[in-house]
Amino acid sequence: MTTINWLSRSRDTALNQLIDGSADFSITLNQGAVHPETGVSFINLGYPAFDYYVHRNSPLAKSKNLSLAEVQLHRQFVLEDLEQSQFGQQTLISSKISSASDPSVLLDLLETEGFSLLPKHLLGKRQDEFVSLDVDFAVQSGHFGYVLLYPASAITKPLQQDCIDAVSNWFKQVCAPEKTSY
């Protein structure tokens, strides 16, 4: 009997909405702070794998052992929240950067050109359309943390706890290490 609205907002906007009471939760990238902002509690959700992805029809998709110089010649699409994080700033490698606030829009843009650093789970049902770049400057996937932010209070309401449990369980699946056989 509860309506849940899933909205894509920048980290700062989401924090302001948590503090002013117009939002109940925010899932965002970890900023590396030991203590959350005033009035906000958090749960560390885990560290999903990130890779550089291109559309399967991109000329880059068939290239092997790409150098940083080769990749830098192409447009890099960046999720707005990632771009605003310390991790995102460290991974801006192209001179041609374009931002998108919505992951589905970014994936649509990748159909036409460029590459993007994304967590694998954001590919969702479109996973078969994209391939990770074979680059010589990263030997494995990167990992970066997500947190669930919510208003701080001494007592968690049952509905809040249900949402925390649902999001936490989903991230346990997303961040579970992939089984590799040798």
Q: Which domain holds residue 61?
A: 49-143
Whether 60 and 133 map to the same domain: the answer is yes
Whether 104 and 159 map to the same domain: the answer is no
Whether 53 and 138 map to the same domain: the answer is yes
pLDDT in tens, 76-133: 999 887 766 666 677 888 989 999 988 899 999 999 999 999 988 889 899 999 999 9
Whether 157 and 139 map to the same domain: the answer is no
Higher pLDDT, 56 or 141: 56
Measured CA to CA in angstroms, residue 156 lies from 14, 138, 161, 164, 178 at distances of: 20, 42, 6, 10, 33
Whether 166 and 87 map to the same domain: the answer is no
Whether 95 and 137 map to the same domain: the answer is yes
State the pTM of this model. Answer: 0.75
Whether 55 and 22 map to the same domain: the answer is no
14 pLDDT exceeds 90? no
pLDDT in tens, 121-163: 889 899 999 999 999 988 777 777 888 888 887 677 788 888 8
Does 159 fall in a domain? yes
- How many structural domains does the chain have? 2
Cα-flanking dihedrals φ and ψ of residue 118, to 5°? -140, 150
Dist. CA 31–CA 119, nearest whole Å: 16
Whether 28 and 71 map to the same domain: the answer is no
Secondary structure letter of residue 21 according to DSSP = T
How high is the pLDDT of residue 177? 64
Whether 67 and 136 map to the same domain: the answer is yes
How high is the pLDDT of residue 121? 85
